[in-house]
Chains A and B, each alone.
Chain A
Amino acid sequence: MIPFTYARAANTADAVVHGSAVGTKYIGGGTNLVDLMREGIEHPQALVDVSGLSRDINETADGGLLIGAGVKNTALAEHRLVRTRFPVLSRAIVAGASGQIRNMATVGGNLLQRTRCTYFYDDTGARCNKREPGQGCDAVDGFNRIHAILGASPACVATHPSDMCVALAALDAVVHLEGAGGKRTLPFNELHRLPEGRPDIETLLEPGELITAVELPAQPMAAHSTYRKVRDRASYAFALVSVAAALEVDGGMIRDVRLALGGVAHKPWRAWKAEEVLRGQPASQQLFQAAAEAELANATPLRDNGFKIELAKRTIIAVLGDLSGVSA
């Protein structure tokens, strides 16, 4: 690890002042950043510790939640209102990482964690446009079983690793930011970018901008929601495919739905097309199949990951079946 300076931010304003300096990164729990620094993938000159800031979860006036960016993953998953009003979020969090890491990792850091693409992590010979823009991508023609089937580009086929973020994509979360230019908010689904020609630019954050909170708008339907993760082992593994869903069914009709996929794209993938197929229709296996087909219609397999297309469809159908009570 190359040398760096360390400072603990006294408050958000203090963090933003220090965080705006070139070569500076914010550190939360460090569970991803410390590893990346040790591997030589990240090499900040200065760290500003924001793990002590924004540790509260507060109910908003409309019945939603304002979650401080410094809230630990465990604290969010166990929160009474998250478990009852937004169970998909609790389920997604406890599907990720290990107990120890969930005790360290923060909400803000979870949003900004980097891909686990093995070529991104290997700076001893592998080419990676995310690590070194313009270098090329060894994953496109390499071992790409874990890589993207939606929204990828010739420059990058990496996936976003977070489970929590898949739930946030389904819940229409709003990200609160603070930077040198002041405060602003961004819809969660606009925070992360697709790779296109610049996979090294992963979010729409301005340099030095800090995530201060994530807001969940009130969403009665979210009380009836869940998260399903498919992976290579039963616990402590990244998703091959995951599905976050909330459903409102009334007299057999799907009044409304929120659906998002993980493990399939460079960003948490909101399944807008599937939602459109489902909304206002009578719940049935055929409908769920049609919705899954619509969402995956543009999926593109690489050498090793074609199985993800069928797996994503089946997982969508299974989750919708569970939530609606309409099974095969």
Chain B
Amino acid sequence: MAEPLLAIDGLVKRFGGLIATDNLSLDVRTGEIHALIGPNGAGKTTLVAQLMGQLPSDAGRIVFDGNDITRLPTHRRVGAGLARSFQITSVLRDFTALDNVALAVQAHQGHSFRFWRPARHDSALRDPALVILEQLGLGARADTLAANLSYGEQRQLEIAMALAGDPRLLLLDEPMAGMGPDESARMVAFLQRLKGKRTILLIEHDMDAVFALADRITVLVYGRAIATGAPAEIRANPEVRKAYLGEEHADA
């Protein structure tokens, strides 16, 4: 088997006495959508922050494309090809939708110690940003302030910003969080189109979405992976059913 794109080995994060990530090991293979599920407080968002370098890890290793990135600062990891979206919408509220994505594009075009040419007239930034906005159905909203977008649109913008740098591994932290059923369905359809083209670590509570999208699923409970496998295996795994799927899916 080929080298995994992302290999997490024995990763640990402690907050005082609480262990949020408990000796976690996990692989993400190139091209797959790998879903990470688990009850609230399982440490999913903590793991994303550790992968991005926003939270330092206490022990363990993160290897991305063969390189140890455990101690790299966030911007170097982004440079290597990681990108994330946020569970709690985190866009630049007083920038337009287009500005938001253009900044994400800009982050991938070398340093920004460029003091003279106006960025808002720079087609090297605007054109790719507009393409991504249109992919997410936000083309008509390009010049709207992010703060004035509807909640669902802000969630889409969130994904657009993560996609803008053409990342090799996309960490999506509950992209469907708080969305209505229609919006959710559209987001699932969008992610479906990315399937096979992008490598995604998908954190999601919506089980229908997870089973529709994922090639493999890892179940996280109290910071440790209790099972990894294809959707059918996870569905059949008695330990998983007990720990997590239990009540909801027992009758499914």
Q: Indicate whether A and B interact.
A: no
